[in-house]
Structure 1
Amino acid sequence: MTDGLPPHVRLANEIAIQFAHLDFTDGATRVAKHMHDFWDPRMLRALFTYKDTTGQDLDPLAAAAVDHLRHPTDPQPPPRESRPQT
């Protein structure tokens, strides 16, 4: 799944894996906090653009983190059928 992905997408997916054991909303919040605290703004903009244009290979938790960064008070989990199986 990570072959050929842009670096910011690959990294977002790898971070999401680290928080996949948590409740979805808590995991998305923590991924978003990590991105906010440690990512360069250019990486965030590239990730936002990727999610807006295709987003097909973005982990659902990473996608929710992007939404949380845009709207910090409203992180919504995706429908259950689109969540990864753990």
Structure 2
Amino acid sequence: MDKEVLIQMANQITDFWSPYPKTEATESIARHIHTFWDPRMRDQMKTIIDDGGEGLSPLFIETMKDYFNGPKSPAKPVPSAPQAKPKAGTPAS
């Protein structure tokens, strides 16, 4: 896809979401790119951003740098050891 068209599309998406609170805007921009852009478009955008992101909205650059770093999963709690259950008919101690 033409680089200028890709930049224009990215800025239009960002312009739509920019009035929203920043967290909502960045999540929505990233979700849109992930859902609707072909992987080749995302790869091309990564190259554009890695080359400086000229012409892109700062909010889009920030969002996509975070997106390209991968998901942020909360730390999983360590499961505790299972407690032994008393056998049927045996009083619990």
Which of 37, 41, 44 lines up with 1:43 in the alignment?
A: 41
Q: Give the structure with higher Rg (CA).
A: 2
The superposition leaves residues 41-64 of structure 1 with CA deviations (integer Å, 9 ceiling, x where unpaired) of: 111011110011021211012112
After superposing the two structures, state which structure 1 stretch, 61-70 or 25-34, moved more.
61-70
Aligned pair count reads: 69
Q: Deviations over 1:13-57 (max 9, x none)?
A: 000000011122321111000000000011101111001102121
Residue type at the aligned position of 1:9: I
Runs of 4+ aligned structure 1 residues displaced above 3 Å come to none
Question: Residue 8 of structure 1 aligns with which residue?
Answer: 6
In the other structure, the counterpart of 1:31 is 29
Unaligned runs of 5+ in 2: 73-93
Q: Which has the higher contact order (CA 8 A, sep 6+)?
A: 1
Q: Is the 8 A contact 2:46 2:68 kept in 1?
A: no
CA RMSD between the two structures: 1.4
In 2, are the aligned partners of 1:19 and 1:31 still within 8 Å (CA)?
yes
Q: Whole-Å Cα distance in 2 between the matches of residues 29 and 64 of structure 1?
A: 11
Structure (1 or 2) with the greater helix fraction:
1
Could you state the TM-score of these two structures normalised by the residue count of structure 2? 0.67
TM-score by length of 1: 0.72
